[in-house]
Amino acid sequence: MFLVVLLICVAGFRLLSFPYPAYFGLGATIGLEALYFLWKRKRNQKKYDKAVSLQSELSDLKQQEFELRYEEAKMNGQLDRWKKET
């Protein structure tokens, strides 16, 4: 991908009559690749943060479910049988 972007940049700078289009093309390509890398890193960090948040929420919901089932078993007098099942 790097070479394709480099060739496109060099051709564009040559078409625009820049002096030393290869150097401008190389600089533009490196800049674009750096921006792409930073964007991809930021996007992955957001996905990771969202996954951690959802995992924490799931853990809390599982804990609440356990507490509710325990209370229900306690109220129905089935605590001994419930303990054997879990």
pLDDT band at 83 (very low <50, low <70, confident <90, very high): low
pLDDT confidence of 84, banded at 50, 70, 90? low
Please report the pLDDT score of residue 65 as a whole number: 94
Measured distance CA(19)–CA(74) in Å, rounded: 83
pLDDT digits (tens, 9 = 90+) for 15-36: 888 788 888 888 888 898 999 9
Rounded to the nearest 10 degrees, the angle between the axes of helix 21-76 and helix 2-15 is 140
User: Per the confidence metrics, is the pTM higher than 0.75?
Assistant: no
Report how far residue 73's alpha carbon sits from residue 66's, in angstroms, rounded to the nearest whole number.
11
Domain boundaries, the chain: 2-85
68: helix, coil or strand?
Answer: helix
